[in-house]
Structure 1
Amino acid sequence: MVNGQAYAEVIGDPIAHSKSPTIHNHWLQQAGITAEYRASHVRSQDLESFFEERRRDRLWRGCNVTIPHKQAVMPLLDRIDPAAERIGAVNTVRPEKGKLVGYNTDYIGFLEPLLPLLRQAHLFRMARIFGAGGAAKAVALALHDQGFTNVIIARNPDQARALRESFEPDDRLIAPLDLFATPTDFPFDDREGILDLIVNTTSLGMAGQPALLLDFSHVPPNAVVYDIVYAPLETPLLAEARARGLRTIDGLHMLIGQAAAAFALFFGTPAPRGDDKALREKLLG
C-alpha cells in the first residue's frame, strides 16, 4: 500500500459512483486516524484473486461490498456473521485472526433513522416495501424483527414470495408493483396508534431511472415515507410525500448509518458522528 498506511476500501462493478470513500475519509480525518479508504473496481471473475491478495496484506482492514457482489463474495469467506447469513448477503468483510469474516450493516443502517419512532409503543406496525432484491431482504428482516407486518410489492411475484418465505410465508402479503400505480378507493380506518411505513428499496427514482409509480391513494394517512435512493436526495416519491405533508426519510440516512457500523468494524472505534450535517453537505456537493 502507498505510504505504508492501513486502509479499507469498497469494491464493486461499477464503483466510480460510490460515496463510501467520502464518508469514511471524512470520519478518519475527524477521528485523527492515520489510514485511508478507497474505491476499487473489482469484476466478478476477479473476486477470488482479490481476496487471496488481500489476505496477505497486513495493512488491509477490510472492505465494503456493493453491487453486484453481495452474494457472490459469501462462498469466498471463512465465516459469515449469523445476521448476514440470515439476510443472505454480505456488504462488509474484514480480516480476523487470519480469517475473512462477512457482515451485513444494511440492517442496522436502515433502522437507525427510525429508532426514535421505534422506541414508541404502537398498536400495530405495517410496512409496504417496494422491491424484493438484496436490499429489500435486509429491510424486510429488520422491520419484521421490530414487529412490522410487511407487504412485499414487486414486479416479480415469485421473487416477492421468496422474500416473504425467508422470514414468514404469507401469500396474502405480496402484491404486484403495477397494482399500486392505479388509484384505489380503499377506505383507511382510524390509524391512530398505528405506525405505517412506505419503503422504496428499488432503483426507481434514481437519477437516470424512471420514477416509482405510486398512487398516493394507497398510502395511509400519517405514513412515514422512506426512500433508500440517495441520488437524487429528493426522489419524486419523497417530493410528493413532502408536498402531502407526510414525514419522509431520505437515502443518505441509511447510507451513513450502514457506513458507521462498517467503520467501527474496520478501525475499531465508533465513527465520529458529531458532524453529520457537514458530512451530508459534502456528499451533496
Structure 2
Amino acid sequence: MTEVTVTDVTATVTSWPVDLSTVPAGVTRLEIRADLVGDLDPAPLRLAFAGRLQYTLRSRAHGGRCADPPEVRRARLAWAALGYDTVDLEADHDLRPEVLAAVPAARRRVSWHGPSAALTELRERFAAMAAVPAAGYLLAPRAASAADALVPLRLLAGLGRADVTAYGTGALGVWSRLLAPWLGAPAVAGPLDRSRSTGALDVARICADYPFAALPPLRDLYGLAGPVALASSFLGLHNHAYRERGIPALYLPFHLTGIGDFLTGFWPAVPDGLRALGMPLRGLTVSGPLKEVALHVADVVSPVARAAGAANALTRRGGRWRAATTDSSAVAAALRWVGVPLAGRPAAVVGCGGAGRAAAVALRYVGADVTMVNRRETRGRLAADLLGLPFTPLDAFRPTGPCVVVHATSVHTRLPFPVEGLSAGAAVVDLVCPPSGVSALVAEARGRGLRTVDGRRVMAVEAAHQFRLMTGRPMPPEPTIREVVTHAGLDSP
C-alpha cells in the first residue's frame, strides 16, 4: 500500500488536573472529555499544549457520563465552539439546527458509539452522518469479539475516504484502532492517563510502539494473541525491528481472554478477513492459555511443539498454518548463557503450562535429569506423563545442590519455592517479566550468589527467535532490543 500520513495522534484527557508536560512527543491533538473532567478553559490549555484541541461531551447513550438536559448540552457545545478547534457532535441527538448553527462545519466531528453492528448498518449510519458537513466522522461500534472489529475496517476499505475514522471499541477491538489508519482513518487516539486505558492502549504506548504519525508502507501483518497482548513489550520489540530492517509489516495486539475468544471470535474469521482486505496475517505469537489450541488449528506442527504439547508461534507459509514453539530455543539459549554443563545434572521446571513443558523438552534434549513441578497436582502429573518425566508437587519441592531450576509460572512478588538449599553451581532461569525491576526469585537467587537469567533476557531472545521465524530475517542486535523492553507484561508468550 502507498504511504499515508495520519492527520492526528490524539491524547484523550480523562482526568483532571493532569500535567500536560507528560503528553508524549508526536501527539498532535488533545481531546478533552468534558463529561469526565468538566468544561476546561481552552486558553490555559493552549499555553501548555501547542497542538489542536478537541471538546467531547460523551453522553451516556454513547458510553460516556453526560446526562445533561438537552438545552444544557446544547449550551455547552455552543460554548466549546468558541474556543476549541473541534467539537464532537453525536449523530443521534446533536445534529439539530441550533447546534449546527453554533458549531461551524470546519469544527465539527460527527460521531457514533454503539453496539456491534453489521456492515450494512454501519454504511447506513455513515450515509446519514455524511449528510451533515463536517471536518471528520467517527463510527465506533463495540467489538464483542475480535471478528466484530473487522466490520468497521471493511467500512473504511469500502469508503476510501480520508475524513472517516472507524474501529471496534473495547479490548477486543484495540487492534482495529491501530490498523485503521492504513485504511484511510485520519486519526488514532489513546488515553493520556494510563490508569484509564482499560480496553485501549494509552497514548504513550501508541507513540512508542507504532510508527505514527507518518505511516510506512504496509504489506504483512503479525501479532500477539492472548490475554497478555495489550501489556506485552513484544509490540514495541517487533514494530521497532520492522522499521529498522525496512520490513513493510505491523505487529498487532489481539486481546483474547481464552480459548472461547480464540475459536469463536478470532479463528479463522480474522485471518480470513484481513486477507480479504489485502493485509494478510502472516504470523502470530500465541500466549497461554492458547498454546494448546494453537496445535489443533495448525496444518503442520513442529516436532518440538508436538513433544511439548503446545505451540507459541503460528506462521502461514504456502497457504498452510504451521505451529512451532520458541520457548524451548529461548530456554536453551538462556542455559548457554548460564554457562553450566547440563548433561546428567539435576534440573526442575516449576510450572507445567506450555512454556514449562517446552523448557522441559529443551532440558531433556541436552541430557539433564528433569523433574516437573506444579502447584496443581492433577495438571502437573498430566504434563509429566505427557513428557515421560517424574513429578513433584510444589509444596514438597525443595531444590538442593547444583540443581538447575526453570521457573515458568506468573508468580513474581514472592518466592515461588525456597532457594536456600541450592549450592554453588546451581542456576535459576526465571521466565516471568515483572512490570519493573526483577522478580523476587531472581533477586533472592542473585543475593545468594547463584547464576541467574531473568525474564527480560529470555524474552529478548524469544522475540528475536520469533522475528526470524516469522520474517526469515534476523532481529536487530540485542542491545537495541533490550532498550525497547520497557512495558513487559507478567507473562512471556
* Length-normalised TM-score, structure 1: 0.83
TM-aligned CA distance change 1:139 to 1:152, over 3 Å: same
Task: Give the whole-Å Cα distance in 2 for the aligned partners of 1:132 and 1:123.
Answer: 22
Counterpart of 1:219 in structure 2 is 422
1:167 pairs with 387, 395, 398, which one?
Answer: 387
Contact persistence 2:288–2:354 (CA under 8 A): no
1:235, distance to aligned residue in structure 2 (A) = 0.6
Q: Would you identify which runs of 4 or more consecutive aligned residues in structure 1 move more than 6 Å?
A: none
* TM-superposed deviation, 1:222: 2.6
1:27 matched to 2:246? no
1:246 is the counterpart of 2:450: yes
CA distance in 2, matches of 1:74, 1:83: 11
CA distance in 2, matches of 1:282, 1:268: 21
- For structure 1, which runs of at least 5 residues remain unmatched after alignment? none
Give 1:110 deviation, angstroms: 1.6
Give 1:201 deviation, angstroms.
0.6
- Relative distance call for 1:169 and 1:90 in structure 2 (3 A) is closer
Corresponding residue for residue 266 of structure 2: 47
Aligned mates of 1:122, 1:137 — CA distance in 2: 17
Q: Distance in 2 between matches of 1:139 and 1:237?
A: 18
Q: Secondary structure at the match of 2:370?
A: strand
- Greater relative contact order: 1 or 2 (C-alpha under 8 angstroms, separation 6 or more)? 1
Q: Is contact 1:65–1:91 with CA below 8 Å preserved after alignment?
A: yes
Given the two structures, how large is their TM-score scaled by the length of structure 2?
Answer: 0.50
Q: Is 1:177 matched up with 2:394?
A: yes
Change (3 A) 1:116 1:244: closer
> 2:344 & 2:303 partners in 1: Cα distance?
28
Instruction: Please say if residues 47 and 73 of structure 1, whose CA atoms lie closer than 8 Å, have aligned partners that are also in contact.
Output: no
How far did 1:138 drift? Answer: 0.5
1:200 to 407, 413, 423: 407
Residue number in structure 2 paired with 1:259? 463
2:355 to 117, 130, 135: 135
- Amino acid paired to 1:114: L
Aligned to 1:12: 226
- What secondary structure, in the 3-state scheme, does the structure 1 residue paired with 2:253 have? strand
Q: Choose from 296, 306, 314 the match for 1:93.
A: 314
Compared CA separation, residues 168 and 283, structure 1 to 2 (3 A): same
Find the residue that maps to 1:9 and give its secondary structure.
strand
Q: CA RMSD in A?
A: 2.5
Q: Name the counterpart of 2:483.
A: 281
For 1:48-127, what aligned pairs fall within 5 Å after superposition? 48=267, 49-54=269-274, 56=276, 57=278, 59-116=280-337, 124-127=344-347
Change (3 A) 1:60 1:214: closer
Distance 1:133 1:4, change over 3 A: closer
Q: Which amino acid aligns with 1:13?
A: P
> Structure 1 residues 198 and 100, CA, compared in 2 at 3 Å: closer, same or farther?
same
CA pair 6-137 structure 1, distance change in 2 beyond 3 A: same
Deviation at 1:213, TM superposition (A): 3.8
Shift of 1:39: 1.3
Q: What amino acid sits opposite 2:481 in the alignment?
A: L
Q: Go from structure 1 to structure 2 and tell me whether the alpha carbon gap of 1:81 and 1:216 turns closer, same or farther (over 3 Å shift).
A: closer
Contact 1:198 1:219 in 2 (8 A): no
1:167 corresponds to which letter in structure 2?
L
State the distance in 2 between where 1:81 and 1:151 align. 24
What's the CA shift for 1:76? 2.1
What amino acid sits opposite 1:21 in the alignment? L
Deviation (angstroms), 1:180:
3.9
- Tell me which moved more, 245-254 or 137-146: 245-254
Instruction: From the superposition, tell whether residues 148 and 50 of structure 1 become closer, same or farther in structure 2 (CA, over 3 Å).
Output: same
For residue 15 of structure 1, report the CA deviation from its aligned partner.
Answer: 2.0
Task: Give the fraction of aligned pairs with identical amino acids, expressed as a percent.
Answer: 27
Quote the offset at 1:61 in angstroms: 2.1
Distance 2:427 2:421 in 1: 13
SS of 1:107 mapped into structure 2: helix
Instruction: Confirm or deny: 8 A CA contact 2:233 2:486 kept in the other structure.
Output: no
